[in-house]
């Protein structure tokens, strides 16, 4: 108990390496705020026999083993998401997620898929399994193809969990792939002319600042605004007139 208190006080989020509904129920009461899944975790749950009726129902529909496996994975992750959803709401979307791992067989050497095909599959599956889910996090491996898919997935607004990071190089490549889509420098930002302006946090913040009587800024922000105005013929970029 004291160990958990130390973790919570330090800001650490305790996530579970399981989506077993009984295990989640007990540990959410103990302070767990999220969970992860993978095919092995799902297989261990199915081995308990608690989902034999679901297996039989799907098999009776004539579905093959692969389709059945992914439908059951989706079902179990959905159930876990429901358990963590109150946490997700309370944390203002900053916690309460359940991760869903994309097909690891994309990297199977026996399939020997070309790099571009692996990237295409990660993107297609990321879009498929994230659609319609508020607190589902898509787990992508830090392989060359997985990293190559991150920029597109991030652009789609998909919440990502990059797994199998074992080296600083993998971490940097994954971080930079996501950050390329999340950050926009003056060379790419179109300001008020951007078609995505209505949903842009920077534009919304500047509009709100325009209604203020006093704005507190540091030297870096003020000088960045002056430099961008000079480059754009005096057009307001960061701070309002």
Long-range contacts of 210-217 (CB under 8 A, 24+ apart): 210/240, 210/241, 215/239, 215/240
| Short-list 132, 47, 139, CA closest to 98 | 139
Distance from C-alpha of 48 to C-alpha of 46, rounded to nearest angstrom: 5
CA dist 203 → 98, 223, 230, 237 (Å): 31, 18, 19, 9
Bridge partners (DSSP) of residue 98 are 35, 136
The angle at the Cα of 214, spanning 208 to 217, to the nearest 5 degrees, equals 85
- Contact predicate 126/87, CB 8 Å: no
Q: Inter-axis angle of helices 168-182 and 144-155, to 10 degrees?
A: 20
Residue 92's alpha-carbon distances to 97, 136, 156, 175, 231, in angstroms, are: 11, 14, 20, 23, 37
* Residues involved in catalysis: 139
Q: What distance in Å separates the CA atoms of residue 239 and residue 224, rounded to the nearest whole number?
A: 10
């Amino acid at each position: 108990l004291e160990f958990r208190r130390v973790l919570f006080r330090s800001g650490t989020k305790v996530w579970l390496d399981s989506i077993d509904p009984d295990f989640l129920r007990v540990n959410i009461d103990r302070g767990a705020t999220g969970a992860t899944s993978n095919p092995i975790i799902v297989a261990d749950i199915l081995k308990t026999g608690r989902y034999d009726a679901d297996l039989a129902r799907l098999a009776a529909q004539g579905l093959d083993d692969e389709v059945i496996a992914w439908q059951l994975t989706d079902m179990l992750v959905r159930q876990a998401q429901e358990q963590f959803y109150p946490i997700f709401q309370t944390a203002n979307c900053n916690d309460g997620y359940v991760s869903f791992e994309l097909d690891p067989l994309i990297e199977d050497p026996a399939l020997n898929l070309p790099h571009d095909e692996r990237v295409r599959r990660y993107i297609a599956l990321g879009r498929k399994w994230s659609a319609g889910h508020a607190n589902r996090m898509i787990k992508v491996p830090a392989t060359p193809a997985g990293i190559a898919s991150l920029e597109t997935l991030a652009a789609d607004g998909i919440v990502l969990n990059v797994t199998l990071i074992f080296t600083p190089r993998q971490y940097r490549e994954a971080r930079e792939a996501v950050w390329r889509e999340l950050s926009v420098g003056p060379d790419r930002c179109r300001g008020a002319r951007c078609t995505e302006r209505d949903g842009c946090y920077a534009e919304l913040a500047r509009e709100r600042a325009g209604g203020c009587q006093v704005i507190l800024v540091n030297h870096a922000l003020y000088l960045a605004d002056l430099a961008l105005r000079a480059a754009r013929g005096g057009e307001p970029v960061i701070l309002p007139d």
